[in-house]
Amino acid sequence: MASVSDNCTVLLNTDKQNLVSQEEILKQLEDSNDKMKVKALKSAILMMLGGEPIPRILMTVIRFCINTEHHEFKKLLMLFWEIVPKYDSEKKLLPEMILVCNALRNDLNHSNEYVRGSMLRFLCKLREPEIIEPLVPSIKACLNHRHSYVRKNAALAIYHIHKHHGSALVPDGADLMNDFIRAETEVGSRRNAFLMLFNEAEEVAIEFLAAHADGLDDFGDGFALLVLELTRKVCRRDPRQKSRFVRFLFQLLGSQSAAVSYEAAWTLVSLSSAPTAVRAAAATYTALLSSQSDNNVKLIVLERLAEMKQRQSRVLTEVLMDMLRALSSPNVDICKRTLEIAIDLVSPRNIEEVVGVLKREVVRTRDSDLENCSEYRTMLIQAIHTCSLKYPEIAGSVVHVLMDFLGVDGAMDVIVFVRANMEQNAPLRSGLLKKLVNTLCEIRSSPVLSVSLWIIGEYAEGEELLKLGFDEIANAMGNPPFVCCQVTDAANTNPGRISENSRSVVLADGTYASQAGAMESQAYGDKTNISPLRALVSNGDSFLGTVAVSSLTKIVLKSRALYGTNSTLTKQRQLVMLAVCCGVADLIERSTSEKQYSPCKSVNSTSPIFSGASADCIERLALFARLILDTEIQAATVEAYLSDSKISFSQYLRHASNSTLVVEPSSKNLSTPALAQVDDLISWRQLRQVTSASGDLDLCDGDDLLRATGSFENSDGTGTRLSHVYQLTGFADPVYAEAYVTVHDYDILLEILIINRTAATLTNLTVELATMGDLKLVERPLSLTIGPLDQRSISANIKVSSTETGHIFGTIVYENSSNAEKSIINLNSIHLDIMDYIRPALCTDETFRAMWAEFEWENKVAIATAISELGTFLEHIISETNMRCLTPQSALGGTSSFLAANLYAKSIFGEDALVNVSVEKKEDADGKLSGYIRIRSKTQGIALSLGDRITAVQRRN
């Protein structure tokens, strides 16, 4: 059986159930049919890779297979020579390998260039100097072969031999390759020769490069990439050598190959921070953005530009306009990343040009057929909004263009932008209000209409704006009553006629009753003539109707102050406002009474019980009517009603602006706990006296590294490692096993310790593992033979494909050497923790709400905890689930008995995890917390796994 530590360059999955016996393999290898030999040799290779020894196969292959001319069989023979044991138990070369060397030499001198090249590539994998030494003259002779395929692989073989065996086998390797590369004209052969010089004779490689600097473009992409690697290697070791390679770097920036120019730009930036170098690299990156069609390439280039932005943002602003050409890509991810980088590079010099590009892109989204047009438009509007916050003077040039999109997707971002500019840019108010009033009939979204009505009511000043605002809102609302609209025959229906309809309903006690309801016939001819505002209010949106009445009330109060109480215009507007107010109140009363049926009440009860939003709307409508009708109301109350809302909004804008300046949502410098204090003393191990009295000693550089990263003081490495150790068998079992689980992104490594607790030798001991969930066993443990009271360690690799709770289980199968009895031990299952895959992440509130509405999988977990404080419970959930709280700290403070917060995280597989915590402290339940934690995700696995985690940890204090 092969040792686990032996060198291996071939790994194939083996299904032991389908393997044939050794006798059959040997018999088939002696067959004269090449196809039968190919099948037998494949089976032999799979068995040997699986750890099954075939002691007699080597001589059989030498006798019956070594002289074949079958190309597939020759390729299999190379694999066989690679994995077959070449030494005996005393580490001496087997005598049979002399015949093998002769066969390899014959292939090196073969007339077919394919056979020669394949054999040369095979020799790159051999590590046995006794086998390679007799073949060196033949390998050198292949350097002068007429075919480039042979010369290319011969140079590669010389490199690997010199790399692994030094000058012992090829003492003249450097001179040989130097002469070869100067005479060679083929691109691949020259590249392999330079690879040899680059790694084994660095100075010779630099001299050759300096002598052929003018023809570097003709040497191929592979050669150019090696030059860049050589540059990085030399300059990092000796920064004084940079001047020798600057010419090559600038020359390679203009390469026709995207890979070469990209690597040259990255090398130039990593070695030099001079403005000239950074400017040239940035120009190369932006050229790649424009010329490359592969989205992956563009995303990689954008990441490099983002890294440059952290250190060289001033130089990068010079190529900002070239970078914005990437917005023409139909891929939303590319446009998003481009905007994130560009917004941070905006300066007073280029703000007008940047905003001009963004305006053109916004207009393009209206006419183009992009796949994610509304999402892209939203990103553009948010980018323009951010620019206007930094430079308010550009708001006037873009806000009118954006207001054309109030009737389409993304209108909410537009109206929020307009609302901010109303407060921050007083000179723009008049024009914006006129534009908004004219666009009101095109808005079909209830939230957008609510904000629009609030803007008109707050900022309409002066005779002209008050008239425009009041007339537009009154015309859009129409005359009461506000009831559901139904299209009827115009010939039989008069405009404005209200028809009575009845229907049978079931009461709470099970009896039937007839309910009468008013239905408005089509008062305006075609249904499309009804304004969106009236249609939404008539369909039951009482909150929108209340906002409309609030705006009318503010305009009436401003008209009273402007024209006087006894003015005819003021009285007319008061009557219209009161009529609309009564119509909205009647709508709320009807909708509430329809939901309340009681055995002791008639269906058409005129005294419904208002609660929730209905009660709030009725209370506000009563306030509006009192403000208009009550002549004894104080002037200070009216003034507070007209100005307090605007003052609060102004304070909100200042708070939001300060929060944006302190912590940007796109910033990667997320808050992390301090690893060390800035005034702590630094202890240099090399500069202090190493004695027993010196106190805290660092015995190795690893301790220095742990102290530098803060891990030495803040974590217990032994405790962390022990927490990932799982006991697989019991202490009373004949075989004790435990596993140490290491999770590294997509891979799980199991290190299994096996101890033989019996006095007998156990043979063919195999750990059979199986998985449940999105786990796949990649490498199965090998069979072992363990002596009495001995122990062995084996490993197994498992691939992970999603964030889902996984289980690993299996058995240990072994045979007792004394009685050949076969035994089986069942293993305890290993439960993989979801916290190994979860990472805290950050997103905007709009993105969180969009994902919350989109994701279909939800897991609702009831809160049951001994923790009595709201803030403490939230911090406990955040720390135990490895998530980030998106709700600002300012919104979580105070003495309220209710707390609501949004948490967000991403898995290493790119899956989003959304959590909403709604918890209330009950005064009538001994101060215990109650509520729910809701989890949403796109996949079922992460929602269930995270829910199980929260259920398990919320009870811990």
- Write out the DSSP string of 861-908: EE---S---HHHHHHHHHHHHT-EE-S-HHHH-SS-SEEEEEEEEEET
Taking phi over 0 as left and psi of -120 to 50 as alpha, with beta for the rest, 478 belongs to left
Q: Environment class of residue 227 by beta-carbon count within 10 Å: exposed (0-12), middle (13-18) or buried (19+)?
A: buried
CA distance 393 to 82: 73
* Residue found by looking up tokens 């709030």 in the block: 616
Rounded to whole angstroms, the Cα distance separating 473 from 100 reads 96
How much is the pLDDT for 520? 46
Identity of the amino acid at 862: A
Distances (CA, A) of 952 to 840, 863, 880, 904, 939: 20, 11, 10, 19, 21
Residues with Cβ within 8 Å of 184's Cβ and at least 6 positions away in sequence, in order, are: 151, 190, 193
784 C-beta neighbours (distance < 10 Å), count? 21
Task: Profile the chain (957 residues) by mean pLDDT over runs of 10 residues.
Answer: 50 60 83 85 83 81 83 85 83 86 89 89 88 90 90 90 85 86 86 85 83 77 85 82 81 86 87 85 90 88 88 86 88 88 88 87 76 79 82 79 78 85 84 87 88 90 89 88 52 40 45 46 50 87 89 90 86 90 86 56 49 76 87 82 87 73 42 55 57 39 44 48 82 91 78 90 89 78 86 86 76 86 89 77 84 89 86 88 84 79 86 90 77 89 85 74
**SS3 for 663?**
coil
With a CB cutoff of 8 Å and minimum separation 6, the contacts of 656 are none
The SS3 assignment for 950 reads: helix
Residues 6+ apart with CB under 8 A from 285: 262, 265, 301, 304, 305, 308, 319
Q: Find the helix or strand (DSSP H, E) in which 512 lies.
A: strand 512-520
306 Cβ contact list (under 8 Å, min separation 6): 337, 340, 341
Instruction: Find the largest Cα–Cα distance for the chain.
Output: 122
Q: Which helix (H) or strand (E) holds 395?
A: helix 395-402
How far apart are the C-alpha atoms of 574 and 552, rounded to whole Å?
A: 9
Model pTM?
0.63
User: Helices then strands (H, E): number in the chain?
Assistant: 38, 18
Q: Which residue ranges make up each domain of the chain?
A: 440-485+530-592+614-652, 724-832, 836-956
Helices (H), 84-220: 97-108, 113-123, 129-132, 136-141, 148-165, 173-183, 187-200, 202-211
The residue with tokens 């709280």 is: 885
Distance between CA 606 and CA 113 in Å, rounded?
101
CB 806 within 8 Å of CB 758: no
Inter-residue contact 157 to 139 (CB < 8 Å): yes
CA–CA separation, 357 vs 338, rounded Å?
13
Please report, as a single letter, which amino acid is at residue 821: E
The dihedral through the CA atoms of 950, 953, 956, 957 has a sign that is negative
> Which residues are paired to 824 by β-bridges?
813
Query: Which pLDDT score is estimated for 150?
Result: 92
Q: What distance in Å separates the CA atoms of residue 784 and residue 764, rounded to the nearest whole number? A: 6
Q: Is 796 helix (H, G, I), strand (E, B) or coil?
A: strand
> What CA–CA distances, in Å, run from 680 to 318, 675, 677, 683, 697?
42, 11, 5, 9, 17
d(CA 293, CA 315): 26
Contact 398, 355 (CB under 8 A): yes
**CB–CB of 883/903 below 8 Å?**
yes
Residues present in the chain in total: 957
- In angstroms, the Cα distances linking 514 to 15, 422, 500, 607, 716 are 75, 51, 12, 18, 75
Q: Residue 512's pLDDT is what?
A: 47
DSSP string, 577-592: HHHHHHHHHHHHHHHH
Q: What is the pLDDT of residue 70?
A: 82
User: The tokens 């011969």 sit on which residue?
Assistant: 154
Distance of CA 64 to the CA centre of its chain: 57
Expressed in angstroms, the distance from the first to the final Cα of the chain is 53
Determine the 3-state secondary structure of 331 from DSSP.
coil
Q: Contact 250/280 with Cβ under 8 angstroms?
A: yes
> What is the reported pLDDT for 936?
92
DSSP for 755-782?
EE-SSS-EEEEEEEEEEESSEEEEEPPP
Fold of 724-832: Immunoglobulin-like (2.60.40)
- Which pLDDT value is given to residue 4? 38
How distant, in Å, are the alpha carbons of 8, 66, 77, 79, 102 from that of 70?
25, 11, 10, 15, 18
The neighbour count for residue 530, using CB atoms within 10 Å, is 18
Structure tokens of 16? Answer: 């032991």
Q: For the chain, what is the radius of gyration of the CA atoms?
A: 39
Q: What was the pLDDT predicted at 676?
A: 58
Phi/psi for 816 (5° steps) reads: -85, 125
- Give the span between the Cα atoms of 116 and 499, in whole angstroms: 97
Q: Tell me if 724-832 shares its fold with 836-956.
A: no
Three-state secondary-structure class, residue 387: helix
CATH assignment, 836-956: 3.30.310.10
Nearest to 329 by CA among 284, 386, 280, 372: 372
Which residue from 32, 14, 34, 27 is spatially nearest to 76, judged by alpha carbons? 34
Report the run of H or E that residue 915 belongs to, with start and end: strand 912-921
- Residue indicated by tokens 């994701």: 855
Q: Which residues contact 25 (CB under 8 A, 6 or more apart)?
A: 40, 43, 44, 47, 54, 57
Phi/psi at 460 (5° precision): -75, 115
Our CA angle for 52, 63, 169, nearest 5°, is 80
Contact 134, 169 (CB under 8 A): no
**pLDDT given at position 479:** 85
